[in-house]
């Protein structure tokens, strides 16, 4: 890991383009057998009519799969964009060196036996990385399943997913750090009737990484939706920049990140040599950069389907129509789960539906067309157009079950209305026939086979729209201060300051929110309350590296007069003596009245750099933590979003007549603290618990500040 | 609704048997056209070789679909078990009367135009119900899609779901209050390759209802798994008894109940005239009687698949094997979501795997076999058998992706090990071929197409096992005291007692848990604390129908001495005067120290009878309610389960060094209170908030008791 970190990839969108858009391809060790790994790329490209030149390289043969075979890369004698390499690991470096000498610009390396196998393999892989860097060529892999480009017919891959299924062009692209998951995606995507634009598996990422691939797809005119499978991101800055680029280009990103669970994380760590990081930070990284995290390939493809059929609605108001009342109710149930609204129809719609439908049909949302449609197929079209022109909804979900005898009445009505009204229509059709499906998809109408996946795709597409909108205003990371820092290691020890020292440090940096306080010497007598304070006060024992002073009785609250104060100080001295705490004083602070307690944490992560955690303070934190974490930097309104996304947000918003917190002003206080943390890389951690808030005020009631010592 | 409630069905399992096991069937108005509603049942039964006699009844024809046609039911001249009736609504009563006269025992009525259309239709339906009751015959419907019995070939239905798909016998049965949902189930079930035993749609339920159908299936030797779709249960006692019968027979029940959401409930109310009740009570009813509520037909069929293939494990310890590390991690992630454990392999397994697999494979759970299996197919069988004989796991989840070239190596190894070891193996195979699927299912190995549905089915089957086990000890309902009571209506007005009167009433009934208290006269001077009390005390204004006394300042806490007491009483008198509360006194109570606050509610529901609600007390109740409701009666250990299932259960169990509550003793207190509520039907509601608990003690700090006035 360390060695690889020393040599972060410089791969870019252009590097990816040099591989994906290759027009002349050499296959090193090309086999005449189209079922072998070394024979498949050539066989695939021949049968899918690659729009470019193919050069089999095999010194043992005159001809391979009907093409002239060359003894070596240098023997080809004309420019080669890309060489496919699947030789044993020990030979790869030599082959690439030969290719570089012959002017080859890009390499796809299938070979395994590199960093995934241990230190020797990792060293071998480093040498490939250095070749790429020193000679300005691009290397994909090693240990990858290659790439495919549906528009040129480039298939620099030996995946069996293309063995039987015809390739189909489309606008969905996939980047995978796992070759296997890449193959499954290809299989599911093609079977689902969706085409793809580009397909990129990055393997061990000695040079071209997932970030570069995403950046390339952000610019690729053939790609409208980007799917990603990641296990480990080494260069978080590049990954974040790539996600920003995709967001700016208006392209939704759907991501699977394995290792959410502890068992999963342990398993991921043993897989392809990737170190799986803190899942919550990956989650934050994806979310705040506008990417939606999904839990499976099926779910990814369901959501992508809505985008690819231009069927993501502008808002969350759903009109439900069904041929079965029960199904309508089930759809309404799922709608609520996904926070979709079911608005009433407008009076005009009510009236028009009354005329179009039999009297026993009630013109409500969900609209139950009833089995009567079988006798009265014209009502399908009438009802559909009426609902689709009601300005009160954003999308129509139509449920059909079986009804094969009138299938064409549905497909014709749907196609006509979809074209005429241009509002998304999502069809759920249990028992749909293949031809009905094909007709509807032709008309840009996505079809699902059961209710939950359809409503999940709809609900998640709206979440994604929301994430994407917020991501557009995310500030740029700003270089060194934001950079990851390996803290707490032996090389860079840290110290945890006492509350007093921590607060003094923060005060010196311009942090407000610190209650009036006075440090009292342990050894001097205290003759009453020091100047700026007023009762009631709190007295707190102060020592560096004393993290849990309440737990040892080091905090005394509600001190109301001089007598209680003297008693408290005596008690704290006893505690310090008994526990052998090397205390440097007792902090006296005026007690604050407040309405709510928050928890605030600022940290530096080795992978993702500075992070902000906000949550509900108090005992609930440990019972059922209500916290949210984001990577910095953020704008004030992102911090407001964080507070408003807490489960307990209602407490802040003024619950049961409680006084509302001025979330906007409190967020501004927090934003200033974040800015100070960002610009002071010597601070490694600030944890404030509680941050007491009331109206627009916030007070740091306790703080742990950790810095490099 | 009222009329129907007057005439609750007396239908039983035997009634359902009389329909489902009919051996001679008359089809009234049988059509010669096999595609028409009136022609389909006959056509279906002829083509599926119904094992019994068929009698078309059509006075206009000599012969229908090749069978002799009879002019009327009475003209048949031999015993008829079942008549299928699809005539216009107005003729149905006459046809049934004629059938009764001719000795017909059962009727399936497709005809619509009954209670779903309004009062006239409801009256017509009542007459059918009366015919059934008066003459001891069984009527299914009206407005239903009929029944099917795969073993006799009885298809008394016009569903199009059987039009193209071959019927297949199996052990899965379905009961549906919606004909459409019944048809979709049939379609999905048959397409999924599962057979069915019985299929029953109950329509308007004038006589035979879902409860009777479930009771019948509980006894049916051909049925092993029961699926249910319900919209509205009118006779909750019969429904509960039927679920108990299925649980006692060891048959899992998977239920869809529409109307979970508010919008869904509104829509359900407009559908087939059913009044959808309180969803939480349906939820409680299903759960505590051992039925698992699912959200879709797909999910129901996924879970049923595990039962039908004898693949529900005995415990939650999962061994994961995969051909792709990434997939293994994703499975581990889903496992955690479903609370499945991933135990380490035993040392013996470790060693055996080390020998069976290449050196670069790490013998951990999840076990990544890697793509190496393509070269070394023998390792599949070796690894599978090794893991399947490790006593440390209950089930194996094997992931395969594509791998068509070695598909038979997988299917053979799996089939062999499944038979030899007899441990459930669940296969997730992305891109599986139909023939591989068929071979595995032949070997009792269920196959799923993606990770989330497989793990959801596994997790839910274990939840269902748990529910079923708890349900077996559920006490019987005990007649009148448990019966539903329509309370608060004009006919039976209720009164809400003051806290004092309520507590006196409870004390009189033998309820403990009531703190020492004295009622002070409003008009008399109080000369110090009354006898049995000690400071601190609380003073509370007392008036009937005064529900929220704290909100008007009617509660004063922490009264520490005589002076404060006098002040408090004066204040409360002022409050009573100012708010014009007709107070009958002031309740003084000793304040109790306690550890946790619970909420306890006892109510009588018009549909489900007495219910118990338990939850976390305090402000959290309204912020993010943590409550659980169950139908009474319950045993003490069910009440313990309720407390332990709260999200905040850890607070009770002793959180962060807090004192644990003696949940068992507190549950016994609560059980006694439930018993008192059950045996005093004049009490309509008891709400205790908070019920303060500490160790094994519980105190009713405030109570609202409502009774018939």
Q: Residue B105 maps to which CATH number?
A: 3.40.50.720
Which stretch of DSSP H or E encloses residue B615?
strand B609-616
- pLDDT attached to residue B232: 87
Residues in chain A closer than 8 A to B403 (CB atoms): 160
Asked if A246 has any chain B CB less than 8 Å from its own CB, the reply is: no
- Runs of H (alpha helix) within B200-275: 210-219, 236-248, 262-269
CA distance A577 to A446: 73
Instruction: Say whether B231 and A326 touch across the interface (CB within 8 A).
Output: yes
Instruction: Say whether A326 and B647 touch across the interface (CB within 8 A).
Output: no
Percent helix, strand and coil across chain B, each to the nearest 5: 40, 20, 40
Confidence of residue B273 (pLDDT cuts 50, 70, 90): very low
Q: How many CA atoms lie within 13 A of A324 on its CB side?
A: 26
Domain that holds residue B650: 596-708
The DSSP secondary-structure symbol of A404 reads G
A590, A614, A629 - which closes a domain: A590
B236, B251, B266 - which closes a domain: B251
- Whether residues B620 and B657 fall in one domain: yes
Instruction: Say whether B450 and A188 touch across the interface (CB within 8 A).
Output: yes
Handedness of CA A263, A268, A271, A274 (dihedral sign): negative
Q: Which residues of chain A have pLDDT under 50?
A: 1-6, 272-277, 487-488
Residues in chain B closer than 8 A to A262 (CB atoms): 336
- Whether residue A477 lies inside any domain: the answer is no
Beta-carbon contacts of residue A99 (< 8 Å; ≥ 6 apart): A26, A73, A80, A83, A85, A107, A137
Asked if B191 has any chain A CB less than 8 Å from its own CB, the reply is: yes
Q: Which residue of A lies nearest to B619 if distances are taken between CA atoms?
A: A656
Instruction: Say whether B264 and A332 touch across the interface (CB within 8 A).
Output: yes
Q: Residue B489: is its pLDDT beyond 60?
A: no
Q: How many CA atoms lie within 13 A of A63 on its CB side?
A: 3
The DSSP secondary-structure symbol of B489 reads S
Asked if A189 has any chain B CB less than 8 Å from its own CB, the reply is: no
CA distance A680 to A602: 12
Q: Which residues 646-665 in chain B show a CB within 8 A of chain A?
A: 647-648, 650-651, 655-656
Residues in chain A closer than 8 A to B655 (CB atoms): 619, 622-623
Q: Residue A374 maps to which CATH number?
A: 3.40.50.261
Asked if B372 has any chain A CB less than 8 Å from its own CB, the reply is: no
pLDDT mean across residues, chain A: 90
pTM of the model: 0.91
CA distance B601 to A46: 74
Instruction: Say whether A430 and B187 touch across the interface (CB within 8 A).
Output: yes
Instruction: For residue A336, give the nearest of B184, B262, B335 by CB distance.
Output: B262
Model confidence over A631-678: pLDDT tens digits?
Answer: 999 999 999 999 999 988 988 988 777 789 999 999 999 999 999 999
Residues in chain B closer than 8 A to A550 (CB atoms): none
Instruction: Say whether A160 and B404 touch across the interface (CB within 8 A).
Output: yes
Q: Which residues 207-226 in chain B show a CB within 8 A of chain A?
A: none
- Whether residue B489 lies inside any domain: the answer is no
Closest CA to B122 of B10, B276, B3, B267: B3
Q: Residue A672 maps to which CATH number?
A: 3.30.470.20
Model confidence over B23-74: pLDDT tens digits?
Answer: 999 999 999 999 888 999 999 999 999 999 999 999 999 999 999 999 999 9
Closest CA to B398 of B342, B318, B334, B341: B318
In chain B, the number of structural domains is 4
Instruction: For residue A178, give the nearest of B164, B324, B405 by CB distance.
Output: B324
Asked if B231 has any chain A CB less than 8 Å from its own CB, the reply is: yes
Residues in chain A closer than 8 A to B163 (CB atoms): 404
B561, B590, B619 - which closes a domain: B590
- Whether residues A355 and A387 fall in one domain: yes
ipTM of the complex: 0.88
Closest CA to A146 of A161, A159, A133, A137: A159
Q: Which residue of B lies nearest to A298 if distances are taken between CA atoms?
A: B450
- Whether residue B487 lies inside any domain: the answer is no
- Whether residue B488 lies inside any domain: the answer is no
Closest CA to A381 of A371, A373, A391: A373
End-to-end CA distance of chain B: 26
Task: Say what percent of chain B tops pLDDT 90.
Answer: 71
Instruction: Say whether A263 and B366 touch across the interface (CB within 8 A).
Output: yes
Residues in chain B closer than 8 A to A364 (CB atoms): 266-267, 270
Burial A245-276 (b: 16+ CB within 10 A, else e): bbbebebbbbbbbbbbbebbbbbbbbbbbbeb
CA distance A397 to A328: 10
Tell me the shortest Cα–Cα distance from A476 to chain B, in angstroms.
Answer: 32
Most distant CA atoms of chain A, gap in Å: 102
Model confidence over B205-243: pLDDT tens digits?
Answer: 999 999 999 999 999 999 999 999 999 898 999 999 999
- Whether residues B357 and B387 fall in one domain: yes
pLDDT mean across residues, chain B: 90
- pLDDT attached to residue B600: 96
Q: Residue B581 maps to which CATH number?
A: 3.30.1490.20
Q: Which residue of B lies nearest to A325 if distances are taken between CA atoms?
A: B271
Q: How many CB atoms lie within 10 A of CB A48?
A: 17
- Whether residues B317 and B391 fall in one domain: yes
Best residue in A325, A327, A651 for a mutation probing chain B (most B CBs within 10 Å): A325
Q: Residue B547: is its pLDDT beyond 80?
A: no
- Whether residue B418 lies inside any domain: the answer is yes
Instruction: Say whether A161 and B431 touch across the interface (CB within 8 A).
Output: yes
Tell me the shortest Cα–Cα distance from B561 to chain A, in angstroms.
Answer: 21
Asked if B403 has any chain A CB less than 8 Å from its own CB, the reply is: yes
Instruction: Say whether A261 and B623 touch across the interface (CB within 8 A).
Output: no
Instruction: Say whether B258 and A430 touch across the interface (CB within 8 A).
Output: no
- Whether residues B228 and B330 fall in one domain: no
- Whether residues B10 and B84 fall in one domain: yes
- pLDDT attached to residue B269: 59
Closest CA to B248 of B472, B12, B475: B472
Q: Which residue of B lies nearest to A658 if distances are taken between CA atoms?
A: B619
Model confidence over A603-636: pLDDT tens digits?
Answer: 998 889 999 999 998 766 667 778 999 999 999 9
- Whether residues B648 and B529 fall in one domain: no
In sequence order, the β-bridge partners of residue A172 are A225
Q: What's the 3-state SS for B502-561? A: HHHHHHHCCCCCCCCEEEECCCCCCCCCCCCCCCCEEEEEECCCCCCCHHHCCEEEEECC
Instruction: Say whether B325 and A268 touch across the interface (CB within 8 A).
Output: yes
- Whether residues A581 and A702 fall in one domain: no
Tell me the shortest Cα–Cα distance from B324 to chain A, in angstroms.
Answer: 6
- Whether residue B261 lies inside any domain: the answer is no
CA distance B385 to B378: 11
Q: Residue B636: is its pLDDT beyond 60?
A: yes
Residues in chain A closer than 8 A to B363 (CB atoms): none
Q: Which residues 312-331 in chain A show a CB within 8 A of chain B?
A: 323-330
Instruction: For residue A267, give the nearest of B295, B328, B430 by CB distance.
Output: B328
Task: Summarize the confidence of residues B394-410 as an average pLDDT.
Answer: 94
Q: Which residues 252-311 in chain B show a CB within 8 A of chain A?
A: 256, 258-268, 270-272, 295-299
- Whether residues B38 and B132 fall in one domain: yes
- Whether residue B267 lies inside any domain: the answer is no
The DSSP secondary structure of A649-678, one letter per residue, reads HHHHHH-TTPPPP-HHHHHHHHHHHHHHHH
- Whether residues B611 and B576 fall in one domain: no
Displacement of CA B651 from its chain's centroid (Å): 28
Tell me the shortest Cα–Cα distance from B73 to chain A, in angstroms.
Answer: 29
CA distance A674 to A651: 24
Asked if A558 has any chain B CB less than 8 Å from its own CB, the reply is: no
Instruction: Say whether B184 and A431 touch across the interface (CB within 8 A).
Output: yes
- pLDDT attached to residue B5: 43
- Whether residues A621 and A565 fall in one domain: no
Tell me the shortest Cα–Cα distance from B583 to chain A, in angstroms.
Answer: 26
- Whether residue B283 lies inside any domain: the answer is no
Closest CA to A248 of A226, A281, A271: A226
Instruction: For residue A450, give the nearest of B296, B330, B368 by CB distance.
Output: B296
- Whether residues B66 and B122 fall in one domain: yes
Q: Residue B565: is its pLDDT beyond 50?
A: yes
Instruction: For residue B335, give the nearest of A35, A261, A342 by CB distance.
Output: A261
- pLDDT attached to residue B693: 94
- pLDDT attached to residue A396: 97
Most distant CA atoms of chain B, gap in Å: 102
Instruction: Say whether B295 and A262 touch across the interface (CB within 8 A).
Output: no
Tell me the shortest Cα–Cα distance from B490 to chain A, in angstroms.
Answer: 31
């Amino acid at each position: 890991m360390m060695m690889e970190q020393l040599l972060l990839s410089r791969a870019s969108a252009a590097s990816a383009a040099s591989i994906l858009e290759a027009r002349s391809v050499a296959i090193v060790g090309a086999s005449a057998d189209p079922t072998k790994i070394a024979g498949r790329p050539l066989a695939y490209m021949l049968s899918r009519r690659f729009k470019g030149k193919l050069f089999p390289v095999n010194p043992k043969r005159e001809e391979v799969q009907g093409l002239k075979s060359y003894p070596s890369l240098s023997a080809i004698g004309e420019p080669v964009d890309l060489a496919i390499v699947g030789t044993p690991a020990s030979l790869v470096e030599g082959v690439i060196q030969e290719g570089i000498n012959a002017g080859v610009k890009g390499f796809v390396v299938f070979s395994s036996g590199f960093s995934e196998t241990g230190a020797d393999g990792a060293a071998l892989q480093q040498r490939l990385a250095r070749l790429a860097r020193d000679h300005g060529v691009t290397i994909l892999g090693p240990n990858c399943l290659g790439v495919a480009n549906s528009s040129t017919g480039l298939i620099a891959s030996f995946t069996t997913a293309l063995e039987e299924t015809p390739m189909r062009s489309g606008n969905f692209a996939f980047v995978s750090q796992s070759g296997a998951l890449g193959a499954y995606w290809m299989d599911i995507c093609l079977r689902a009737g969706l085409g793809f634009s580009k397909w990129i598996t990055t393997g061990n990422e000695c040079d071209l990484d997932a970030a570069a691939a995403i950046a390339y797809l952000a610019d690729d005119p053939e790609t409208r939706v980007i799917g990603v499978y990641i296990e480990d991101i080494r260069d978080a800055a590049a990954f974040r920049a790539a996600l920003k680029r995709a967001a700016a280009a208006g392209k939704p990103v759907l991501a699977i990140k394995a290792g959410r669970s502890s068992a999963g994380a342990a398993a991921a760590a043993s897989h392809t040599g990737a170190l799986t990081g803190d899942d919550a930070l990956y989650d934050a990284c994806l979310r705040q950069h506008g990417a939606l995290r999904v839990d499976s390939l099926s779910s990814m493809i369901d959501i992508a389907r809505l985008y690819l059929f231009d069927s993501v609605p502008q808002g969350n108001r759903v009109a439900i129509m069904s041929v079965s009342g029960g199904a309508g109710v089930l759809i309404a149930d799922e709608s609520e789960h996904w926070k979709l609204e079911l608005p009433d129809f407008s009076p005009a719609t009510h009236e028009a539906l009354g005329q179009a439908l039999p009297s026993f049909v009630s013109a409500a949302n969900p609209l139950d067309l009833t089995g009567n449609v079988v006798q009265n197929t014209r009502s399908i079209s009438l009802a559909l157009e009426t609902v689709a022109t009601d300005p009160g909804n954003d999308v129509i979900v139509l449920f059909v079950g079986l009804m094969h005898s009138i299938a064409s009445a549905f497909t014709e009505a749907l196609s006509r209305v979809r074209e005429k009204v241009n509002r998304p229509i999502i069809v759920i059709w249990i028992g749909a026939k293949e031809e009905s499906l094909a007709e509807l998809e032709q008309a840009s109408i996505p079809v699902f086979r059961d209710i939950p996946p359809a409503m999940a795709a709809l609900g998640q597409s709206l979440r994604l729209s929301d994430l994407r909108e917020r991501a557009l205003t995310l500030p740029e990371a700003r270089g060194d201060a934001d950079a990851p820092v390996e803290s707490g290691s032996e090389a860079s020890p840290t110290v945890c300051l006492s509350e007093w020292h921590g607060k003094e440090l923060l005060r010196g940096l311009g942090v407000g929110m610190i209650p009036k306080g006075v440090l009292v010497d342990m050894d001097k007598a205290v003759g009453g309350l020091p100047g700026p304070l007023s009762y009631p006060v709190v007295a707190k024992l102060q020592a560096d590296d004393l993290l849990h002073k309440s737990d040892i009785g080091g905090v005394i609250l509600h001190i109301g007069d001089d007598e209680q104060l003297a008693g408290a100080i005596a008690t704290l001295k006893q505690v310090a003596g008994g526990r052998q705490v090397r205390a440097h004083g007792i902090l006296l602070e005026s007690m604050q009245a407040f309405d709510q307690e928050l928890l605030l944490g600022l940290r530096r992560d080795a992978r993702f750099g500075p992070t902000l955690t906000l949550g509900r303070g108090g005992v609930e934190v440990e019972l059922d933590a209500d916290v949210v974490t984001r990577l910095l930097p953020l704008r004030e309104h992102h911090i407001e979003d964080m507070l408003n996304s807490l489960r307990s947000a209602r407490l802040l918003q003024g619950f049961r007549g409680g006084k509302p917190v001025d979330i906007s002003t409190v967020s501004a206080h927090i934003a200033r603290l974040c800015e100070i943390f960002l610009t002071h890389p010597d601070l490694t951690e600030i944890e404030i618990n509680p941050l007491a808030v009331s109206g627009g005020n916030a007070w740091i009631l306790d703080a742990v500040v950790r810095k490099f010592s």
